[in-house]
Structure 1
Amino acid sequence: MISCILKTQSRFFCAFLLSLVVSFGALAQEGASEQADVATKGVDPGATAGAEASTGDPAVISAGESLFKNNCAVCHSAGSDVIVGPGLQGVTERRSEAWLLKWVKNSQALIQSGDADAVAIYNEFNKQAMPSFAFSDDEIKSILAYISSGQGVTSAPAAGPEGVTAGESVGTEAVGAASAIGGYLDIVLVVLIIVLIVLVVTLLLITSLLKNYLNKNRTLNEYDTEVVNQRFDFSKVYKSKAVRALVLLIFVVVLVDLSIDKVMGIGIQQGYQPKQPIAFSHKLHAGDHQIDCNYCHSTVYKSRSASIPSANICMNCHSQIKTESAEIQKIYKAIERNEPIQWVRIHNLPDLAYFNHSQHTKVGGIECQTCHGPIQEMEVVYQYSPLTMGWCIDCHRETPLNTEGNEYYDKLVELHDASSKGAFTVASNGGTECSKCHY
């Protein structure tokens, strides 16, 4: 009977150890899945859409917004913030429409005419010449309508914990959540180890107490006395078939897991952050100065690829701003030598995959941050998303299509609703067919 008790304790201990291994493996897999989900969730495409203006023609305001972001936002904010030039909030109240039309078309001519307001602005902002724009009167009026609508005015973000603003926390939410999951798994592992140690110590104490009790209070036969008083032989542990099978199982599971991770990671460059020939800060330009992405990457809404900005685009501002900077001097040298700047490409897709930026940004309304992460907070840009086929397909399966007001989709939506209760997603429109992305 005594030997049966001790064997039962030993089997219970082995079973408990095996259950710990299996449970931790399941927790790790679940945490990894959650981390992948967090890492791949981008900004909601509709989260940053502006509200329709309460006054004015929405179509005119929309056209003005596009013109403003593509031409004016590099130097001006639609609010009160000063970037290179003054903030434009309330400009239609401070200046007449006729004056503004002359100023936008040819500010230098207005200054040279001796206009007091034009000369005052020119002197206030360090005599920086404003470029002349070949806009029609209607185009300038649409820009003024956009500014007057207040859609471009961003309210101050709410302060978060320890002074971190809400805007800052949104950009780093995915990274913070992933780190929290990693920390959670570490805590779980430590707790499991502590529980295991406590259990081992408890079993040893119980065994010791049971042996003392039996030796003092029971009359044992020769066999039971030998079992109770036998010394623990470690050689029997590693020679045990159960222990060897458990160790082999753990080794195989770890080896398979590492192998799968390595194989599945081939070609994935998430986190890739190469050093660029010129230290360009997206945080400074896109974040602090709120320069629209389309100003530098001018084809992102109308072409398959987002163009790399030429040195001439940089010179639109840096012919007058920070001309003494060592990094800006590199741009000057590239222009003098008539050589392109050798930027290092970060986001690379295999040649067998077809991707069209305009289809996603212009047609789909996808924000840059959905794929590129909090780009406005990056000092040095890195690959935020995995850019794997599974990642793309998951997005196509989950992203609903905006079909309102588009007759092309009417019949398709009708057929979809008749056969499915789910949303009409990109996948519903053939977005997961192989030929959509592969030639």
Structure 2
Amino acid sequence: MSIKRSLTSVPLKLSTLLMLFFLMLGTQVFAANPEVSDSEEAIAAGKSIFNANCKTCHKLDQKSVGPALRGVTDRRSIDWTKKFIRNSQALIASGDAQAVAIYNEFNQLVMPNHEFLSDDDLMNLLAYVEYGDKADAAVASAGGEGSVAAGGAGIPSEYLTIILAVLVIVLLLILIVLGLIISILTKYLKTQPLDEADQEFINQKSDFKKVFRSDAFVIIITALVVALVVKTALDELYTIGVQQGYAPKQPIAFSHQLHAGQYEIPCQYCHTGVEIGKSANIPSANICMNCHMHIQNVGGKDGISPEIAKIYAAVDENKPIEWVRVHNLPDLSYFNHAQHVAVGGVECQTCHGPIEEMEVVYQHSTLTMGWCIDCHRQTSIRTEGNEYYDKLVQLHSGSKNALKVKDIGGLECAKCHY
């Protein structure tokens, strides 16, 4: 007996669907150039170069300010690609047809020269372009090992409020239950044959003045008042130096949602000190102009928006932009960005929250001592491929638990207070 199968009943793999999609578009899919290394070391090195120099204008698999880069070594020769990356304007000026076509296709935007990149740097960059960008999986696993739990400082105010509310509710329920029991017993006793003294006791009216003057009532009210005062005092103590939610108005309406979110500009591009020093650095107007001297902004005088005009004015007048600081630790605390970002591999969002979603930047975390200590207690050390921790891992090898920050002195007072 023959069995007919419908086309829709045939299971299609994702790779098959992708192949059909590209065939429908008339696009050929090629394997990456075999001259390009696919080693993890080359891809990692290339990613750093890409993030520092290319990510502002390029994406791997879709057009952005510039063309999509994936498969560039199949569409172009490696030598041509290197020349274009190092000095695209020289290649365009020479009349190279491919370079001129790209230049015209993308509104004649000028790509900065990268002559400082060595051949090894360029090959690592191409390795990342062809084989890299599996960052989505890394972001999805951010909640696993090495992630930071958002600890708080002491007992949160919300918990104290809940505790007090529960105590008041329990007290009221007890009073209601006691009132119901007394009412039921009184009605029952009135139906029973009692002597004259008992009848007089049951029929007596409640004297609320005596209740209010009783020791029990005074103790209960005093306890509630003391609890309320203590809660208020603790709330005020815990808010000293805490600026969570602080979002000051800045001199220029800079949108992190647009720059870090939509355009995926890495934090390190503007905050240049985050991987090399204690402070992350506030970007100068010159860093802004690296992009805005090539990007036309619609609106305002001469096609420049009023906010962008402020950057031009700061550059022309050689005056710094007076940004208002959002995150400000007390002077008695020492925090080093390079230690956390470059060595510890901590993501910016761990402390600063979803910065790529903020139209106006605000302080996301409490940044209190308790918050930092909770982080050090719960964060596992990322030791893989990091020689900085080799000896510490060897010393910790006898323990069954993962090596955490607290195990390498993360709870020592002198680490933060020196």
Q: Per the shorter chain, which TM-score range? A: 0.7 to 0.9
Equivalent position of 1:35 in the other structure = none
Equivalent position of 2:195 in the other structure = 221
Equivalent position of 1:94 in the other structure = 75
- Could you give the per-residue CA deviations for residues 382-438 of structure 1, whole angstroms, max 9, x where no partner exists? 1122222222223223323344566665554444445x5433322222232222222
2:84 to 81, 103, 106: 103
For the Cα contact (< 8 Å) 1:146–1:152, is it kept in 2? no
2:411 aligned with 1:437: no
- Could you give the per-residue CA deviations for residues 35-70 of structure 1, whole angstroms, max 9, x where no partner exists? xxxxxxxxxxxxxxxxxxx96232222221111100
Higher helix share: 1
Cα distance, 1:153 vs structure 2: 7.0
For the Cα contact (< 8 Å) 1:237–1:243, is it kept in 2? yes
Matches within 5 A, 1:189-338: 203-215=178-190, 217-323=191-297, 324-338=304-318
Structure 1 residues 385, 144: CA separation in 2 closer, same or farther (over 3 Å shift)? same
Give me the whole-angstrom Cα distance separating, in 2, the residues matched to 1:359 and 1:209: 71
One-letter code aligned to 1:77: K
Equivalent position of 1:62 in the other structure = 44
Cα distance, 1:127 vs structure 2: 1.7
- Could you give the per-residue CA deviations for residues 121-175 of structure 1, whole angstroms, max 9, x where no partner exists? 22222221111211233322221111100325759x99xxxxxxx99xxxxxx99
Cα distance, 1:364 vs structure 2: 0.9
2:375 to 395, 404, 415: 395
One-letter code aligned to 2:245: G
Cα distance, 1:186 vs structure 2: 9.1
For the Cα contact (< 8 Å) 2:261–2:357, is it kept in 1? yes
2:398 aligned with 1:423: no
- Could you give the per-residue CA deviations for residues 290-309 of structure 1, whole angstroms, max 9, x where no partner exists? 11111111121111211111
Identity, in percent, stands at 56
- Could you give the per-residue CA deviations for residues 361-394 of structure 1, whole angstroms, max 9, x where no partner exists? 1111111111111111111111122222222223
2:102 to 93, 106, 121: 121
Give me the whole-angstrom Cα distance separating, in 1, the residues matched to 2:294 and 2:283: 18
Q: TM-score, normalised by structure 1?
A: 0.74
Structure 1 residues 109, 257: CA separation in 2 closer, same or farther (over 3 Å shift)? same
Give me the whole-angstrom Cα distance separating, in 1, the residues matched to 2:316 and 2:76: 41
One-letter code aligned to 2:41: A
- Could you give the per-residue CA deviations for residues 254-281 of structure 1, whole angstroms, max 9, x where no partner exists? 2112212212321122222111111111
Q: Secondary structure at the match of 1:279?
A: coil
For the Cα contact (< 8 Å) 2:37–2:124, is it kept in 1? no
Equivalent position of 2:342 in the other structure = 362
Structure 1 residues 411, 69: CA separation in 2 closer, same or farther (over 3 Å shift)? closer
Give me the whole-angstrom Cα distance separating, in 1, the residues matched to 2:169 and 2:413: 50
For the Cα contact (< 8 Å) 2:242–2:368, is it kept in 1? yes
- Could you give the per-residue CA deviations for residues 102-131 of structure 1, whole angstroms, max 9, x where no partner exists? 211222222233333222222222221111
For the Cα contact (< 8 Å) 2:160–2:231, is it kept in 1? no
Unpaired runs of at least 5, structure 2:
1-35, 143-148, 151-155, 298-303
Q: Which stretch has the larger CA shift, 308-317 or 400-409?
A: 400-409
Structure 1 residues 367, 264: CA separation in 2 closer, same or farther (over 3 Å shift)? same
Cα distance, 1:342 vs structure 2: 0.4
Equivalent position of 1:145 in the other structure = 127
Structure 1 residues 248, 69: CA separation in 2 closer, same or farther (over 3 Å shift)? same
Q: Secondary structure at the match of 1:272?
A: coil
- Could you give the per-residue CA deviations for residues 14-48 of structure 1, whole angstroms, max 9, x where no partner exists? xxxxxxxxxxxxxxxxxxxxxxxxxxxxxxxxxxx
Q: How many residue pairs end up in the alignment?
A: 365
2:354 to 368, 374, 381: 374
Structure 1 residues 111, 368: CA separation in 2 closer, same or farther (over 3 Å shift)? same
Structure 1 residues 141, 427: CA separation in 2 closer, same or farther (over 3 Å shift)? same
Structure 1 residues 194, 245: CA separation in 2 closer, same or farther (over 3 Å shift)? closer
RMSD of aligned C-alpha atoms? 3.3
Cα distance, 1:98 vs structure 2: 2.3
Cα distance, 1:282 vs structure 2: 1.0
One-letter code aligned to 1:67: I
Q: TM-score, normalised by structure 2?
A: 0.77
Q: Secondary structure at the match of 1:287?
A: helix
One-letter code aligned to 1:211: T
Q: Which stretch has the larger CA shift, 341-350 or 107-116?
A: 107-116
Structure 1 residues 431, 242: CA separation in 2 closer, same or farther (over 3 Å shift)? same
- Could you give the per-residue CA deviations for residues 63-105 of structure 1, whole angstroms, max 9, x where no partner exists? 211111001001111221x331122122222222222122112
2:53 aligned with 1:71: yes
Q: Which stretch has the larger CA shift, 64-73 or 54-63?
A: 54-63
